[in-house]
Structure 1
Amino acid sequence: MTRQLADRTALITGGGIGIGQGIALAFARAGARIALTYRSHEPSAEFLDALAEASGRPALALATDATSETEVARTVRAVQEETGGPDILVNNVGGLVRRATIGELDLKLWHRILAVNLDSMFLFTQQAVPLMTAGAGRVINIASLAGRNGGHPGALAYATSKAAVFGFTRGLAKELAPRGITVNALAPGFIEATPFHDTFTTEDSKRETLTTIPAGRAGTPEDVAGPALWLASADSGYVTGTVVDVNGGQYFG
């Protein structure tokens, strides 16, 4: 197996479960030292052992409120002190929080959803990018198909925040291009085995969604990890400002 991320440190926010977990394991198998954050979903000891075995080095797991400037700064500083990195940042923290239509949304819930999906990305990026080596840094933002198509009913604030991820990615890509740091996004579609769909999607909705996917199946965290691994590697050094749709043909950008 090619260890294309050997001697690199990857910081993956929300890396203890779902898509973040899949990316962390793929990066570890590619030789990266893994640092991950969690809040609600603490990674299991078995998963941390698997990361250490795959990478050859112990993983860091840091409890962090990703919407707190103080906690994010503390976490990134801890990663730097322990590993010298990060070299790669995966902004994976995000969530629907609660389904609500425009009539049901209040300003507090609106701000909470945007904070989880946007403030977290901004804060981690602002803290991590100055530590990245020019010509080698990688930022990968996890967006969503909802940012393309508006999502399912009650996902207005979530879809809005994920559409904003596209703009953040493109603007930052231009800003960091002179330093040789790439910034790209992944927009997953229906990915099973994640807290999102376990919590917010009914079985009827899952069955209906499957009928709209040309590939004929739901995606998995591993389906997202593959493109993420390429974007994190040296092979993608001339690719920046791009949104990669990962949805089995459900949507073409």
Structure 2
Amino acid sequence: MNITLKGKRVLVTGGSSGIGSAIAKALAAAGAKVALTYRTHPKSAEAIVRAIKKRGGKALALEADVSDPAAVVALFHQMDEAWGGIDILINNAGMDGERALGWEADFPAWKKVIEVNLFGAFHCASEALKRMVPQKSGVVLNVSSVHEEIAWSGYSAYASSKAAVGMLTKTLAQEAAPHGVRVLAIAPGAIRTPINRDVWDNPKGLKDLLKKIPLNRIGEPKEIADLVVVLVSDTASYLTGRTIVVDGGMTDYPDFANGG
């Protein structure tokens, strides 16, 4: 099966590192024109753009704070000016925030996680759908987390935001489907990225983490990126309104493998 995204105009938010950068590169390798956003790492974003162009692809690096609706409007105007619109949106920008129990959390910090993860996803999806619905085509894919389903002590804002992204995905999919537009989410489990290096690079932390994963290994960013390519392509043209969990079996509750 030959999956191609040739000529598709793609925006990947938070595309300057980790899963986002892997997704941007994979989409470009499939033939898409890829714009990626960054907030604090312009050099990383530009390096990814150069790597894509070196392989013959087309790419842009755009600065944007997705939690700011005005900045998102400006971001999509840049997409319009560069490529005349958008065909695929990857809502990847996100943060987990500082660990704090619910009764100890600093509310402004708690709120910021919601603003980036949930409000940011909505702002970008809204702007994308304003363009996709009239053209009767397009795909919005939200990058969620296993914490749509699994509680995570100390990270109530993160878990709440990802659970909300799951329902946002379903609702927008229901609204957009009659117009030929699909909306999906992908929920990674433990993936080897810089953001969680302190866990997988520590023997004790890694041992504890692997107990939670039936496949007994951490996922790689490329495994998420390759599936994203499939989900936004015509290969998945009859799939919408669902979160696809990619977690090595983490949400299969491995603690129950030997009895209840």
Q: How does 1:57-206 map to 2 (within 5 A)?
A: 57-132=57-132, 134-151=135-152, 153-195=153-195, 197-198=196-197, 203=202, 204-206=204-206
Taking the aligned partners of 1:242 and 1:79, their CA distance within structure 2 comes to: 27
**What is the CA deviation profile of residues 44-69 of structure 1, one whole-angstrom value per residue up to 9, with x for unaligned ones?**
54321221234x34311011111111
In structure 2, the CA distance between the partners of 1:25 and 1:33, relative to structure 1 (3 Å rule), is: same
Secondary structure of 2:223 counterpart: helix
**TM-score normalised according to structure 1 size:** 0.92
Q: Which has the larger radius of gyration?
A: 2
**What code does the residue aligned with 1:187 have?**
A
1:235 is matched with: 235
Q: CA deviation at 1:3?
A: 5.7
Write the letter of the residue equivalent to 1:96.
Answer: D
Q: Distance in 2 between the 1:50 and 1:142 partners?
A: 23
Partner of 1:23: 23
2:35 alignment partner, SS class: strand
Percent sequence identity over aligned pairs? 36
State the 1:111 CA deviation: 1.2
RMSD: 1.9
Query: CA 1:163–1:59 in 2, change beyond 3 Å: closer, same or farther?
Result: same
C-alpha offsets along residues 71-91 of structure 1, whole Å, 9 cap, x if unaligned? 111011101110122100000
Q: Mean Cα displacement is larger for which, 59-68 or 130-139?
A: 130-139
The match for 2:256 is: none
Distance 2:162 2:173 in 1: 17
Instruction: Return closer, same or farther for 1:103/1:112 CA change in 2, 3 Å cut-off.
Output: same
CA–CA distance in structure 1, aligned partners of residues 38 and 117 of structure 2: 14
Gaps of 5+ in 2: 254-260
Q: 2-side partners of 1:202 and 1:25: how far apart?
A: 25
- Counterpart of 1:174, as a letter, is Q
Partners of 1:3 and 1:29 within 8 A in 2: no
In the superposition, the TM-score normalised over structure 2's length comes to 0.90
Is residue 2:213 matched to residue 1:213?
Answer: yes
Alpha-carbon contact 2:192-2:200 (below 8 Å) kept: no
User: How many angstroms does 1:167 deviate by?
Assistant: 0.4
- 1:218 Cα shift? 0.3
Q: Secondary structure at the match of 1:14?
A: coil
Alpha carbons of structure 1 residues 45 and 144: separation in structure 2 relative to 1, 3 Å: same
